[in-house]
Structure formats: structure tokens, C-alpha cells
Chain A
Amino acid sequence: DTAVSQTPKYLVTQMGNDKSIKCEQNLGHDTMYWYKQDSKKFLKIMFSYNNKELIINETVPNRFSPKSPDKAHLNLHINSLELGDSAVYFCASSHSIIAGGPSSYEQYFGPGTRLTVT
């Protein structure tokens, strides 16, 4: 069974379009994350949700809007896509970041979604 899954795996679209990436985890975790890895391979956190509530919101353009319908799902919607949005987007999950403790930093990552904006 896949612990953290993302769809789609690849996404090619044109500038100005709106697209969504979906993430699901079956680990029973309370906290989920979105990370962006750019062409230089730097991996940076974008958002974190704990039990459907936004906990971490890094300096990300408003065009990016995460949505968590339940604690097992965290989707990422991107409006008006730009060339600079091309990257690999990773979803991850962990035990509750609210509860703290070292296990909250044992994060389990999905396989990534490679987004290419042309």
C-alpha cells in the first residue's frame, strides 16, 4: 500500500492556466505538508496543515491555495500558472506537529508531481 500518494505524477500546462495537485496519506497522520523543489534541487516547505487547519504558510504567492478536506488529504491549487512555477512538488505527512516531539519531524514524502509550465 502506498503511504503517501500524489496525482498526477506529471503535469504539463501553459502559462495562465489553473491546475490542481492532489495528495492522500493512509498513515493516520495529523499533519500534512507541501514542498517545492526547484531546478537547482533546493527543497522548501510551502504549507503545512494539521487536522485540516493551516499551521505553516511560507512566503508563497496567493496564486497557490492549499485545501484540506480532511486530515488524510491535502490538495494544492495553483491559479494563473507562471514559468517560474515549474518544479517538482512533494506532499508529505507526519505525526502531529502541534503535539510536537521528535516524531513530528519523521516526515513521509510522496513520489512528487513534476509540473512543467510552457
Chain B
Amino acid sequence: DAKTTQPPSMDCAEGRAANLPCNHSTISGNEYVYWYRQIHSQGPQYIIHGLKNNETNEMASLIITEDRKSSTLILPHATLRDTAVYYCIVRANTGFQKLVFGTGTRLLVSP
């Protein structure tokens, strides 16, 4: 399974865009990039996933580089409620595979 690397922490001002990077240089062709977040004292929350095209939903945008070796999760207008640990996970969509949560990036959104 491809390994992911994320910065341990990031800060963002409220109302600004939060850009969370993830490196997955060993990703293989059939592996998707998934993003989850965990707000303090809550269960993890699915955000978005993508294979090679950029994706956008009501929560965030996912930008995947052309070589697929890295990606960026973008929260366009961060709010205080976006303070959380963000996990980037790479999984193939075959077999009985499990999600493996790393240490993630702790995003702190400040007023």
C-alpha cells in the first residue's frame, strides 16, 4: 500500500483558504486518494476522494497532481469549525482492504 506523508500541523486564519498537502509518491495506478477529518471528540468524517481528476464537493476540493504523487485538500473558506485532524489515505478499490489512518495534519483555524 502506498505510504502517505503529511505535515503534522498547520495554521489558517478564519475565512482564508486552507491548503493541506499530502505526499504519496509510491501510489499505484488503481489507488484512490481519500481524505477524512476528525474534529475533537467526534468520529472521523469522510470528506472527499479522487483517482486522478480534481474533485469538488460541498465540503472541499481535492487537487491531484498529474503524476499523482501528491495531492492537496482545499477548504476554500476555513471556519473555526474546520479545526480538526485531517487524514490523507491511499487505498486500492479492490479486495477486502481496510482504511489505515496515519497521524494526519492537525489544522488550527484561528479568528
Contact = CB atoms under 8 A, between A and B. Distances in A.
A97 B96 contact: yes
Contacts of A43: 38, 44, 101
B93 A42 contact: no
B91 interface: yes
A106 B95 CA distance: 15
Interface in A33-81: 41-45, 48, 55-56, 58
Nearest to A90: B43
Interface in A92-107: 92, 97-98, 100-102, 104-107
A107 B46 contact: yes
B43 A109 contact: yes
B93 A101 contact: yes
B95 A105 contact: no
Interface of A: 4, 41-45, 48, 55-56, 58, 90, 92, 97-98, 100-102, 104-112
B99 A106 contact: no
Contacts of A90: 43-44
A109 B34 CA distance: 15
A106 B46 contact: yes
A48 B95 CA distance: 13
Contacts of B43: 4, 90, 92, 109-112
Contact of B98 (A48, A100, A101, A102): A48
